[in-house]
Structure 1
Amino acid sequence: MSDMRKALILSIALLSGGPALAAGGDYGFTSLFNTNFVVLIGFLFFVAILFYFNVPTLIGGMLDKRADGIKAELDEARALREEAQTLLAGYERKQREVAEQSERIVSQARADAQAAADQAKAELERSIERRLQAAEDQIGSAEAKAVRAVRDRAVEVAVAAAGELIASKMAAADANKLIDDSITEVEARLH
């Protein structure tokens, strides 16, 4: 007999003896009219049937199965937890990568915008310089034109004044001689 069975029988005997001894009456303890004795016999018979059909082992087996089921569920829960932690770590890593990539994109966009602004500023400065140069060229051309116009007008006035002066002081023969000298000088310069 196993130790468990011995302990169970001993505890049943100790617990059931107390009420049976307390019952009194005219019939005695072992009489079938003593309810305590009948209950004790029924209980012992019930316990004997349980042991005969190996119910404690079946209950122990069911408890072991339940413990194994709980252990399997705990192992599955641990595996799911580890898988969830792995997935979480993967998502956190991807989140960090996406954050880093977005920071790179933003910094690249800022650099591109700054470069475009610098280029636009340089082109604007070159355009302004070209326009200033064109304006200065126009001003210089206008000045040169004005100077030529003033010179031409001064020459015309001087020639007209000289012509009047020469005409008033010079005789016809001197005028012809002056014309001939001028023609000779022009021919000499042209050849």
Structure 2
Amino acid sequence: MALDNTFFALVGLILFFVLIAYLKVPGMMGKQLDKRADNIRAELAEAKRLREEAQALLAEYQKKRKDAEAEAAALLAAAEREAALLTEEARQKTEEFVARRNALSEQKIKQAEADAISAVRTAAIDVAVAAAEKVIAAKSDKTTQTALFKDAVSKVQSRLN
């Protein structure tokens, strides 16, 4: 039997396998693989927990967003109601103001009419007195004038007392 390179390669391979078995390399590899599998499982569990946490946060924020939208809608509705009330109040106040102004204007017009009528009456009385004075002066003599004057003075005194 000739010792060729194939024989030495076979012996080296067997020694390699024996050395690997002696150093417990398959066990160490198994432990490393198990450790890596455990790490992967832990990472997957952590990822699942984080995902569930993220979904819970998402649901919470969606609920808060809906609540905020509802509150904003309620605030908007309240603001619209308040604006409508303010508009109605302003309209009523404007109408009342216009009515008061009209009443005041009518009152001023009536007062001006009364003043004008009074002025016309006063002027008419003055003109009538002047005309009567001229007519009486033209038609009466001194004794009649004195009698009329005394009669007028007595009437004034009786009215004053």
TM-score between both structures, scaled by the size of structure 1: 0.69
If you compute each CA radius of gyration, which structure gives the higher value, 1 or 2?
A: 1
Deviations 1:35-86 (CA, angstroms, capped at 9, x unpaired): 2x55444434433333333222222211111110000000111111122222
Structure 1: how far apart are the matches of 2:46 and 2:20?
Answer: 35
1:119-140 CA-to-partner distances (Å, cap 9, x unmatched) read 3333333332232222222212
User: Which of 165, 168, 183 matches 2:138?
Assistant: 168
Higher relative contact order (CA 8 A, sep 6+): 1
Q: CA RMSD in A?
A: 2.5
Unmatched 5+ stretches in structure 2: none
Q: Distance in 1 between matches of 2:5 and 2:56?
A: 70
Deviates more, 1:78-87 or 1:126-135: 126-135
Deviations 1:122-169 (A, max 9, x none): 333333223222222221221111100110111112222222222333
**Which position in structure 2 is the counterpart of 1:53?**
23
* Residue aligning to 2:37: 67
Q: Which residue does the alignment assign to 1:95?
A: 65
Say how many residue pairs are matched.
161
Sequence identity (%): 40
TM score, norm. by length of structure 2: 0.80
2:4 to 9, 27, 33: 33
Q: Return 5+ residue gaps in structure 1 as ranges.
A: 1-26
Moved over 6 A (4+): none
Q: Distance in 1 between matches of 2:156 and 2:5?
A: 175
Corresponding residue number in structure 2 for 1:43: 13
Bigger share in helix: 2
Partner Cα separation in structure 2 for residue 80 and residue 170 of structure 1: 130
Q: AA paired with 1:69?
A: N
